[in-house]
Amino acid sequence: MDMKQAIVRLNFHNYDLWKERTKQVLIREGLWRVIVNDIPEVKSETWIDKDERAVATIGYLVESSQLQLIKNASSAKETWKILQDYHVKQSSAGRVGLIKKLSRMELEEDGNLEEHLIEMDALFDKLQEVGCEMAEDIEGAFVMASLPESYDGFVTMMEGQEGKFTMKSLKTKLLNEFENRQAKQKVREEKALKALTPRERRLPVESSDRQDSRVCFECGKTGHIRKSCYRYLSRLAEEQQIDHRENKNANSRANVVTERQASGRSVCFAAADKPLSQMSNQKWIFDSGASRHMTSNKRCFTCFSGQRETVHLADGRKLLSLGFGTAIIRSQSADGEIISVKMKEVLYVPNLRSNLISVGLIASSGYQIEFGAKQCQIKKRTERL
């Protein structure tokens, strides 16, 4: 296939990509030097031939809207310069937008670090083209600021190094860290699969066209159904291991109610006078069916430990808890004073629509709970909290 036919032509929005692709075409055709070298005083027939072919190649690789810009150019070098000056000047007006976009760059916890770094490099290049070149340590600061919380230890290590680091060394260490995490995740998935029974591990059967066309509701791929999906089986095995660890350590955890010790599950059941989706994540609900205190607001934690755990809802759905810790909530004392209440072993459940206080846990700690028409009071002996 002719390479020129496979390249997207220049318009008002794709100059950066077009420039790199067209450069490769001109190099391949042996025409790039007439762009970068000075125009000779005495033009040979060979140079004229290459210059004309370069002009024709550039003209072929732009849309009709761009031909008006270069119709009076007398050489390939001038043609290239006219397009460069026009599009880079237009990009200068978007300098603030580029910086804003760079500031908003964030890598998801399960995102691809390599693709993320390539996107950031493209933004650094665009800023350099519009006259906003950054020092390497500033670029590195933007990169580290875009990493998720799980990379905080890595960022602290890099900030503690003496002297300035280079972007090359930062990228190398980041990619090594990413590869190590990928390898560990693969090992965890393999262990989870090994924990399943041979029947659960078996490959999906593909004996007919009808089965090949089926769609898995877990991963969205065709050729198998949910009960045979590796992603589902891996998650199921992980949940089973979590339940097993919880049952094994039940006696060593003080704030676990009898129902959870018996079932090995964290459960919740909430009732409210308006939809939970409309409630603020600053408000807390007393839940007599919850086996643990739970919140979706990570900012209320004063200390936190990451540990995945499955929470079972009353309607049969499951949510994932990403850890637990000590949380501080605001409440009102019997005297009307606003006080801070510390609660231990509160689960962090990002997708939970309300914050829940476990009535069972409070009662098991020696407190009494009295519900009135418009209020709820917590007592310990004769003292009202």
pLDDT at position 280 = 54
- Give residue 163's region: left, alpha or beta (phi > 0; psi -120 to 50): left
Cα separation of 367 and 346, whole Å?
18
pLDDT tens, position by position, 277-301: 444 556 788 887 788 888 888 888 8
What are the tokens at 296?
A: 């979706």
Q: Identify the residue whose tokens are 């890595």.
A: 154
pLDDT at position 308 = 82
| 3 close to 21: Cβ distance less than 8 angstroms | no
Q: Identify the residue whose tokens are 């949940």.
A: 239
Q: Identify the residue whose tokens are 């393999």.
A: 190
Cα separation of 172 and 104, whole Å?
23
- Mean pLDDT rounded to a whole number for the chain: 76
pLDDT at position 381 = 64
Average pLDDT rounded to a whole number, residues 68-76: 91
pLDDT above 60: residue 169: yes
Most confident of 48-62, 162-176, 277-291, 349-363: 48-62
Task: Give the contacts of 42 (CB within 8 A, at least 6 positions apart).
Answer: none
For 335, the 3-state DSSP assignment is: coil
Angle 285-286-291 (CA atoms, 0-180°, nearest 5)? 115
Q: Which has the higher per-residue pLDDT, 331 or 302?
A: 302
For 284, the 3-state DSSP assignment is: strand
Task: Give the contacts of 254 (CB within 8 A, at least 6 positions apart).
Answer: none
Q: Which has the higher per-residue pLDDT, 358 or 268?
A: 358
- Give residue 264's region: left, alpha or beta (phi > 0; psi -120 to 50): left
Q: Identify the residue whose tokens are 């007919």.
A: 208
pLDDT above 80: residue 204: no
β-partners of residue 348 are 295, 323
pLDDT at position 296 = 85
pLDDT above 80: residue 109: yes
pLDDT at position 102 = 86
Choice among 138-147, 173-182, 234-243, 358-367 with the minimum mean pLDDT: 234-243
pLDDT above 70: residue 142: yes
Amino acid code (one letter) for 219:
C
Find, among 361, 360, 316, 363, the residue nearest to 343 by Cα: 361
Amino acid code (one letter) for 10:
L
pLDDT at position 242 = 47
Q: What is the pTM of this model?
A: 0.38
What are the tokens at 224?
A: 């198998």
What are the tokens at 11?
A: 């318009």
Q: Which has the higher per-residue pLDDT, 6 or 15?
A: 15
pLDDT above 70: residue 161: yes
Cα separation of 344 and 347, whole Å?
9
Choice among 3-7, 103-107, 123-127, 373-377 with the minimum mean pLDDT: 3-7
Average pLDDT rounded to a whole number, residues 53-79: 91
